[in-house]
């Protein structure tokens, strides 16, 4: 680690739970962020600022005016640009030493499997059940921890699914697949208060930093947040022995 890195990351290095060894693990870490919108924006910015060595940002969408209310990695000058590329430039402005790659096509099939297998942690910042199930299945197959976040209206949630834990559940244990398809609520249809995605995205970034650096204990179960009351709730999530992804 160079002297400039010691100064840049000094406030993390002074934490006993991270120290130089943990910061070096961050600098060598690889994170895949799927979705560069409301959740992916703070995730990308905080992981780059914290010194994660390589970020891969995946998003096929373009920046729209309605995104700017909450997707803080983008500005008016980015309207019409691909979100992954726009977020890359914002993250690089914070930390030019972070290697940032972009995937500008919708991740699926072999491309999804390859991107997940090449990461040390995956952050699901998408808003569709089909994407969440595909990411979850790829993480289980590759044995890569998954940090899942969601935010809508005034409600947010976070869960970490770690395939390395033999007793740990997966996303499909929490939300069993059914015939709903992509009928989940979306921000475009239901709205979302701006700071909520920052709160949940920051929580996701924190969990990824813990997983990469070895600090603390990874989050277990499901945490939900009610922005109207300011209350958090936590639920245990058992592994489903009949889960079509990780059961049996």
Each residue's pLDDT tens digit, 8-53: 999 999 999 999 999 999 999 999 999 999 999 999 999 999 999 9
Radius of gyration over alpha carbons of the chain, in Å?
A: 17
* Token duo for residue 213: 């650096």
pLDDT value of position 177: 87
What DSSP line would sit under the chain, residue for residue?
--HHHHHHTHHHHTSTTTHHHHHHHHHT-EEEEE--STTHHHHHHHHHHHT-SEEEEE---B--GGGGGT-TT--GGGTTSBHHHHHHHHHHHH-TTSEEEEE-S---HHHHHHHHHT-SEEEE----HHHHHHHHHHHHHHT--EEEEEEEBTEEEEEEE-TTSTT---HHHHS---S-TT-S--HHHH-B-HHHHHHHHHHHHHHHHHHHH--S----SEEEEETTTTEEEEE-----TT-TTT--
pLDDT value of position 157: 97
pLDDT value of position 185: 59
Phi, psi of 43 (to 5 degrees): -60, -50
Tens-place pLDDT, residues 172-198: 999 998 745 444 556 667 789 999 999
pLDDT value of position 186: 61
What does the pLDDT average to over 187-213? 93
pLDDT beyond 90 at 206: yes
What does the pLDDT average to over 127-148? 96
What does the pLDDT average to over 66-82? 97
pLDDT value of position 242: 93
Greater model confidence, 54 or 127: 54
pLDDT value of position 237: 95
What does the pLDDT average to over 99-123? 97
CA–CA separation, 148 and 211 (whole Å): 13
pLDDT beyond 90 at 141: yes
* Residue 160 CA, distance from chain mean position: 10
Which of 107-116, 156-165, 175-184 shows the lowest per-residue confidence on average (mean pLDDT)? 175-184
Distances (CA, A) of 154 to 193, 227, 229: 6, 5, 9
Q: What percent of the chain has pLDDT over 70?
A: 96
Predicted confidence band of residue 201 (pLDDT cuts 50, 70, 90): very high
CA–CA separation, 164 and 93 (whole Å): 34
> Helix crossing, 19-27 with 194-213: angle to 10°?
110
CATH no., domain 3-235: 3.40.50.720
Predicted confidence band of residue 54 (pLDDT cuts 50, 70, 90): very high
Tens-place pLDDT, residues 142-152: 999 999 999 99
Predicted confidence band of residue 1 (pLDDT cuts 50, 70, 90): confident
**Mean pLDDT score of the chain, rounded to an integer?**
94
Distances (CA, A) of 71 to 27, 37, 197, 227: 26, 5, 8, 18
pLDDT value of position 184: 54
């Amino acid at each position: 680690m160079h002297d400039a890195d010691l100064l840049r990351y000094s406030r993390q290095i002074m934490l006993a739970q991270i120290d130089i060894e943990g910061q070096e693990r961050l600098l060598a870490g690889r994170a895949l962020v799927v979705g560069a919108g409301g959740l992916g924006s703070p995730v990308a910015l905080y992981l780059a600022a914290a010194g994660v060595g390589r970020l891969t940002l995946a998003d096929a969408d373009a920046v729209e005016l309605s995104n700017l209310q909450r997707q803080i990695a983008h500005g008016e000058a980015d309207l019409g640009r691909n979100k992954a590329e726009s977020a890359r430039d914002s993250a690089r402005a914070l930390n030019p030493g972070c290697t940032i790659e972009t995937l500008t096509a919708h991740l699926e099939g072999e491309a999804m499997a390859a991107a997940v297998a090449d990461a040390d942690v995956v952050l699901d910042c998408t808003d569709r059940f089909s994407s969440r199930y595909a990411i979850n299945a790829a993480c289980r197959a590759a044995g890569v921890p998954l940090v899942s976040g969601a935010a809508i209206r005034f409600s947010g949630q976070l869960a970490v699914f770690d395939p390395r834990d033999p007793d740990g559940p997966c996303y499909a244990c929490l939300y069993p697949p059914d015939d709903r398809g992509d009928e989940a609520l979306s921000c475009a249809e239901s709205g979302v208060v701006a700071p909520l995605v920052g709160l949940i995205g920051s929580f996701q970034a924190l969990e990824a930093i813990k997983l990469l650096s070895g600090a603390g204990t990874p989050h277990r179960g499901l945490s939900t947040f009610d922005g109207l009351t300011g209350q958090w709730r936590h639920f245990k999530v058992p592994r489903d022995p009949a889960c079509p992804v990780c059961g049996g």
